[in-house]
Amino acid sequence: MSQQEFWNSKFSRDGYLYGIKPNSFIASKVKSFPRGGKVLCLGEGEGRNAIFLAKRDMEVTAIDASDIGLSKLHFRALEEGVTVETICADLNDWEVKEQYDVIVASYLHMYKEDRAKLFEKIQDSLKPDGIFVGEFFSVNQLNYNSGGPKDKDLLYTIDDFKKAFALCQGDINEVVTILDEGKGHQGEASVIRVVVEN
C-alpha cells in the first residue's frame, strides 16, 4: 500500500482525524518564528499546523501524500480566510526547490532507512538561521495506546536527530506528555521534541 492509499483511508472519514488545533509543541514555539516568514509543513495531513501558522501572517506551504487530507486543508483554509500552498507528494519523492525560514513537522511516519535522506532535505531547505521544529513519537511510544504506529521502524530515538543535525545548534528532548489531538491522538504519550537552528 502506498503512502497516499494509507493516508487517504485515514483521512476519508468524516471530521478531522487529529482535530483542528495545532500541535501544542509547535504552537508553543511560534513566537520564535519570523513574522511573515516562509514556512514549510511536512506530512501536514488535514492542515491543522499550516492553517494555524497562516493565520499568523506566515507564508505557508504544506506537503502531504494524501490528496484527501490536502483537500480538507484547502476547504478549511477558505473558511478561515487564509492561503496555504499545497504539494501532494510522498516525502521520499519530495525535491528541494526553495528554502524556508521555518520547517515544522508533527508525527511523521518515516521508515528508519528513509530518514537520512529526509533530514538532509530538511537541512538543504532551511535558510541560514532557519529553524526546524517537530514532535515525533519515540520508540517508547510502544508502551502507550494514545496513537502512533506500532512498528518500531517508524518510531524515533534522540540519537536519530542528534546524528542527523550534529552540525546544527539544537534542543532535542524526550518527554512524556498528554495528547489531545482529535480522535487520532488521545492520552499519555512518549514523544521527542526537536528544535534545530541551521
Distances (CA, A) of 44 to 61, 140, 147, 168: 9, 23, 17, 24
Q: Which residues of 128-137 are buried (b: 16+ CB within 10 A; e: fewer)?
A: eebbbbbbbb
Q: How far apart are the C-alpha atoms of 167 and 131, rounded to whole Å?
A: 13
pLDDT in tens, 116-155: 999 999 999 999 999 999 999 999 999 999 999 999 999 9
**Length of the chain measured in residues:** 198
- Mean pLDDT over the full length of the chain: 95
Its domain, for residue 47, covers: 3-197
Is the pLDDT at 53 greater than 90? The verdict is yes
- For 5-44, the pLDDT digits (tens) are 988 899 998 899 999 999 999 999 999 999 899 999 999 9
| Max CA separation in the chain (angstroms) | 43
Least confident of 1-15, 101-115, 177-191: 1-15
Average pLDDT over residues 49-74: 97
CA distance 49 to 56: 11
DSSP class of 15: S
Q: What is the pLDDT of residue 168?
A: 83
Radius of gyration of the chain (CA): 15
Q: Is the per-residue pLDDT at 166 higher than 90?
A: no
Please give the pLDDT value at position 108: 94
Distances from the Cα of 160 to the Cα of 21, 70, 131, angstroms: 27, 28, 18
At how many degrees (to 10) do helices 3-11 and 67-80 cross? 50
Query: Which pLDDT belongs to residue 1?
Result: 81
| Mean pLDDT calculated for residue range 102-128 | 95
Q: How many domains does the chain have?
A: 1
Task: Give the pLDDT band of residue 167 (cuts 50, 70, 90).
Answer: confident
pLDDT of residue 58: 97
Read off the CATH number of the domain in which 52 is found.
Answer: 3.40.50.150
Q: Give the strand pairing for 185-197 and 169-181.
A: antiparallel
SS3 call for 73? helix
Q: Are 63 and 41 in contact (CB under 8 A)?
A: yes
User: Has residue 169 got a pLDDT over 90?
Assistant: no
Reading the block at residue 12, the C-alpha cell is 476519508
- Proportion of the chain above pLDDT 70, given as a percent: 100
State pTM to two decimals.
0.96
Residue 198 has a pLDDT of 86
